[in-house]
């Protein structure tokens, strides 16, 4: 899975243009969101087919600012405090979280500055929960 970061104009139709381009390319959006920051739309969307998404968005003249691999993990929704614990584990291992959201499958999606270290923290976190 890949996070595609986009810069969108702050006017009606920008998300529709992006969604139409991905739909016409048979690229499914698996999660993400969009926020206005300083009057500019900053969007992060999760896709499986990175190359098809990038090609479709480029053809539609949607501004792509980044495309990165993600870490996905599932938190136990019945145990309060897990978000704090997993993000603390990332921080304790020097991993900076740059983007965080959830996907349509209720998994936590992270874009981090050090994917290898982040994967190690994630794998240890998930193994400890399975034990």
Query: What is the dotted CATH code of the domain comprising 71-130?
Result: 3.30.70
- CA distances for 69 relative to 45, 76, 125, angstroms: 12, 23, 19
pLDDT confidence of residue 131: 74
**Cβ burial, residue 12 (10 Å; 0-12/13-18/19+):** exposed
DSSP state of 24: H
Cα-to-chain-centroid distance, residue 75:
16
Of 104, 103, 86, residue with least CA distance to 95: 86
CA distance 17 to 22: 9
Mean pLDDT by 10 residues, the chain (131 residues): 96 95 97 94 97 98 97 89 95 97 94 97 90 74
The predicted model scores a pTM of 0.92
pLDDT at 16: 95
Q: What is the full DSSP assignment across 39-70?
A: TEEEEEEEES-HHHHHHHHHHTT-EEEEEEE-
CATH superfamily for domain 2-68: VC0802-like (3.30.2130.10)
Going by the DSSP 8-state scheme, the letter that residue 8 receives in this structure is E
Q: Where are the domains of the chain?
A: 2-68, 71-130
The separation between the first and the last C-alpha atoms of the chain, rounded to the nearest angstrom, is: 26
pLDDT of residue 9: 93
């Amino acid at each position: 899975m890949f996070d595609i970061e986009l810069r969108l104009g702050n006017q009606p139709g920008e998300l529709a243009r992006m969604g139409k381009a991905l739909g016409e390319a048979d690229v499914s959006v698996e999660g993400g969101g969009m926020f206005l920051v300083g009057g500019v739309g900053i969007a992060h969307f999760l896709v499986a087919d990175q190359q098809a998404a990038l090609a479709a968005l480029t053809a539609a003249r949607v501004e792509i600012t980044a495309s990165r691999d993600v870490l996905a993990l599932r938190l136990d929704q019945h145990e309060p405090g897990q978000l704090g614990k997993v993000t603390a584990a990332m921080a304790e291992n020097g991993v900076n979280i740059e983007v965080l959201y959830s996907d349509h499958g209720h998994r936590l999606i992270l874009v981090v500055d050090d994917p290898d270290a982040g994967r190690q923290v994630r794998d240890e976190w998930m193994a400890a929960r399975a034990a």
